[in-house]
């Protein structure tokens, strides 16, 4: 509960910053949710605020925050062992340029996004020791924290549409659809020296599954493709 309170408080601060600066056009502020992130392998509930950066609303800025718990992950299986300690955090900052200057921030756009994600968990596994010359002499049980850090950038193209009512009048509800390509840097930190052996007799407990931390610290770059939808509401 404290984590959700912190997340909501952070979001309120973002909104206040967005609406308090004199340099921003206060004409419009849209609050959005991103429902597809609930189905991510590192599931999060995410919401964002989009506001103007120019008087004609052609340039906008969005701040997005997300939090998720492993116990709520719909993809978890017995082998994946998402536990009560697994948590996911996401922060995104997006600068958007609409193709046409419109008073209500709708239509096609290009966007430039920077991204940060952190996954925290605890790992419990049995590590084979003294395995260099044959079968391991003994196994050590380790229980320790581990984290995954991801940073990256994405270029996106999308379209934002404002819903109309039965009288063909604009409502305060919007639909936002986008696709994008980018790159991410993934860094795994096991917090302890696991001392992984190259011996074929070496054994460590825990299955390798998509989204796991693996057996040792590492860092690598991967390409990234994104697709998403958001539903939003005009605050003003």
Q: How confident is the model at residue 209 (pLDDT cuts 50, 70, 90)?
A: low
Average confidence (pLDDT) over 46-56:
89
Q: Output 193 or 81, whichever has higher pLDDT.
A: 193
Q: What is the pTM of this model?
A: 0.78
Q: Is 147 within 8 Å of 186 (Cβ atoms)?
A: no
* pLDDT tens, residue by residue, 86-109: 899 999 999 999 998 888 899 999
Average pLDDT value over all residues in the chain: 82
Q: Is 153 within 8 Å of 103 (Cβ atoms)?
A: no
Go through the chain and tell me how many residues it has.
Answer: 236
pLDDT at 49 over 90: yes
* pLDDT tens, residue by residue, 130-146: 777 767 777 778 888 99
pLDDT at 196 over 90: no
Q: What does the domain layout of the chain look like in residue ranges? A: 2-234
Q: How confident is the model at residue 21 (pLDDT cuts 50, 70, 90)?
A: very low
Class of domain 2-234: mainly beta
Q: How confident is the model at residue 24 (pLDDT cuts 50, 70, 90)?
A: very low
Average confidence (pLDDT) over 213-234:
91
| 56 φ/ψ angles, rounded to the nearest 5 degrees | -95, 10
pLDDT at 55 over 80: no
């Amino acid at each position: 509960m404290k984590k959700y309170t912190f997340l909501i408080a952070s979001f309120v601060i973002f909104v206040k910053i967005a609406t308090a600066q004199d340099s921003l056009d206060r004409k419009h502020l849209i609050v959005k949710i991103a429902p597809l992130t609930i189905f991510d392998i590192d599931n999060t509930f995410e919401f964002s605020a989009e506001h103007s950066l120019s008087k004609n609303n052609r340039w906008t800025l969005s701040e997005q925050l997300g939090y998720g718990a492993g116990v709520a992950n719909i993809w978890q299986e017995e082998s994946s062992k998402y536990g009560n300690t697994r948590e996911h955090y996401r922060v995104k900052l997006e600068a958007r340029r609409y193709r046409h200057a419109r008073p209500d921030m709708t239509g096609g756009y290009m966007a430039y996004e920077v991204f940060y994600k952190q996954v925290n968990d605890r790992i419990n596994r049995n590590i084979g020791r003294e395995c260099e010359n044959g079968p391991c002499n003994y196994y050590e049980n380790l229980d320790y924290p581990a984290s995954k850090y991801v940073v990256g950038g994405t270029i996106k193209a999308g379209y934002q549409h404002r819903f109309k009512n039965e009288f063909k009048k604009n409502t305060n509800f919007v639909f936002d659809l986008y696709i994008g390509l980018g790159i991410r840097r993934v860094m795994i930190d096991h917090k302890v020296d696991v001392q992984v052996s190259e011996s074929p007799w070496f054994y460590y407990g825990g299955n390798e599954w998509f989204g796991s931390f693996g057996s040792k610290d590492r860092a690598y770059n991967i390409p990234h493709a994104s697709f998403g939808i958001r539903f939003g509401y005009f605050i003003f």
